[in-house]
Structure 1
Amino acid sequence: MHSIRSALLQAQAQLNSSPRLETVDARFESQLLLQHLLNAGRAWLIAHENDSLEDGMQARFEALVNRRVNGEPIAYILGSREFYGLNLTVTPATLIPRPDTEILVDTALAKILAGQHTQILDLGTGTGAIALAIAQQRPQAQVTGVDASRPALDVAISNSRQLHLANVHFTLSDWFNDLGNARFDVIVSNPPYIEETDAHLQQGDLRFEPLSALASGADGLDDIRRIIDGCLIHLKPQGWLMFEHGYNQAETVRELMAQTGLVNIETVRDFGGNDRVTIGKNPLIVSTHWD
């Protein structure tokens, strides 16, 4: 039987030597996998590093490590990912939430005043990460998350139940198609925005994530165009539309928003200083004219 320490060292060596992993913190990921398997914290692993690992548990640990060695995202192996302080279930049916998307949540929260009964829409919700983060931070808001994928929507619904958030609901819809005449104060989206021929789709975690949640036409902007084209029907007067997009797409997104009639258009940068979120406002105002 291996000790916990020797099992971890062996796993680290395997991860470090894997040609399928471009960059990896082998020590951290080995500990995460064993913590997941043993349902234990890091401090427990350190305190019990000389304990023996039963043969059956060792085999299960090696199986998890081999999945990671073959390049499978650790979020899918663990079945969860932290986002905006929330622990979310993730599956291969959903995109893995990423830290840069928290910029989109911050940008939305800046436009949603605390205590106001606002209507928020999250298009292409996936795990529900954006919708759930907004709902948790703005309990007076009513948040709707939509996705065209039933398996992804089931994950979002499960996450909302686990978090006990009553001010969010999810519905099946291909962007705006099944929303009728519903209108919202803020519409947010992290849509597919990678070029369909981008070589990165065959690298790293992207190889395992659903292509429909990643790629969008020759220039990556097909879905963003669809959303912008339909946004004014579903934005309330003075409502905001905001997207996450690629680092080199901000100028085009701003132009598309302006062509549609949105105003107060600006781009927000991510943690790495790259253009990441662009927002625009519906210029219409509520009529105060009475006959």
Structure 2
Amino acid sequence: MNKTNAPWTIGSILTWTGQYFAEKGVENPRLDAEVLLSHILERERIQLYVNFDQPLQAHELTAYREAVKKRVARMPVAYITGCKEFMGLEFCVTPAVLIPRPDTEILVEAVLEKLHGFEQPALLDLGTGSGAIIVSLLANLPTATGVAVDISDQALVIAQNNAEKNQVASRLTLCQGDLYQPVTGQTFDAIISNPPYIPDQDIQELTQEVKQEPHLALAGGPDGLEFYRRIVRDAAHYLNTGGFLALEVGIHQAQAVAALAAPVEQLAFAGIIKDYGGIDRVVLFQRN
């Protein structure tokens, strides 16, 4: 950052950073500049606009420069700030967990709709990561209880933090293990998962930002369906009668995932829900 002797103000640093990010190919240059600066200054983005002429303190400028360097190196904004909003709640995130996506809110909303009428639903979240899905569900369902499973002990630390942060920890049990393995013998009213679904050969085609997210949370096997096969195959054993399974899927995967229920006794395909872009995003199955 080179400049004349005039002090950097909120307005001038945002203008400079937005241009710099654009030159470096950052996808949302102005937005990222604002989010990073609001994080450093610990104020809402709207407050930046009413304080454009405010000069930055030396320590603020130093911290912001470091954040800008990380973003140009393609570190995702959420990893730089350590937080991400999802379903109106704030979640802590680190490179140990997948960053919650807006698309996944479609999954949570679908589950909330399906659970209407359940008095004390028992929920299972497979591959919980940051805990965004199960914590959001419990925050919206005050009589529900949940179990969240992840193979990563680091992810479970983050999920526990987020459960406490959003005041649902007393109703959530976290288990380390591979899919259903930690919950053998238990049954639930709903099983929810956003499993890894990117075909192995497509991993190298991902953006530099996405490549910095956990490989375990992305790679779904040769065709991207490896985890879906295992989840659907055994779901009926862990669902109460009348319970359901809800899965987020990638683009062009919904029909293939829906077909997985055909050979499974006591589990039936129950529908597909599109996201706001018209893409098939959630596949539902019902326990008979």
Q: Residue type of the partner of 1:119?
A: A
Give the alignment partner of residue 250 of structure 1, picking from 240, 250, 254: 254
Does 2:199 correspond to 1:198? no
Question: Secondary structure of the equivalent of 1:280?
Answer: strand
> In the TM superposition, what whole-angstrom CA distance separates every residue of 1:180-199 from its partner, at most 9, and x where no partner exists?
20101110100001101105
Cα distance in structure 2, aligned partners of 1:169 and 1:114: 23
Contact persistence 2:84–2:92 (CA under 8 A):
yes
Does 2:28 correspond to 1:10? no
Aligned length: 280
Give the alignment partner of residue 117 of structure 1, picking from 116, 120, 126: 120
**Change over 3 Å in CA distance of 1:149–1:139 after alignment to 2:** same
Provide the TM-score with structure 2 as the length reference.
0.93
Question: Secondary structure of the equivalent of 2:183?
Answer: coil
Q: What residue is the counterpart of 1:235 in the other structure? A: 239
Cα distance in structure 2, aligned partners of 1:116 and 1:213: 32
Residue 102 (structure 1) shift: 0.8
Cα distance in structure 2, aligned partners of 1:115 and 1:240: 12
Contact persistence 1:125–1:156 (CA under 8 A):
yes
Does 2:80 correspond to 1:77? yes
Question: Secondary structure of the equivalent of 2:63?
Answer: helix
Q: Which runs of 5+ in 1 are unaligned?
A: 284-291
Provide the alpha-carbon RMSD of the alignment.
1.5
Q: What residue is the counterpart of 1:129 in the other structure? A: 132
Q: Residue type of the partner of 1:144?
A: V
Q: Residue type of the partner of 1:81?
A: K
Residues 176-215 of structure 1 mapped to structure 2, 5 A cutoff = 176-199=180-203, 201-215=205-219
Question: Secondary structure of the equivalent of 1:236?
Answer: strand
Q: Residue type of the partner of 1:99?
A: P
Q: What residue is the counterpart of 1:272 in the other structure? A: 277
Q: Residue type of the partner of 1:275?
A: D
Higher deviation after alignment, 229-238 or 196-205 = 196-205
Q: What residue is the counterpart of 2:287 in the other structure? A: 282
Q: Which runs of 5+ in 2 are unaligned?
A: 1-6
> In the TM superposition, what whole-angstrom CA distance separates every residue of 1:118-158 from its partner, at most 9, and x where no partner exists?
11101001111110111011111111111110000110000
Question: Secondary structure of the equivalent of 2:182?
Answer: coil
**Change over 3 Å in CA distance of 1:252–1:42 after alignment to 2:** closer
Provide the TM-score with structure 1 as the length reference.
0.92
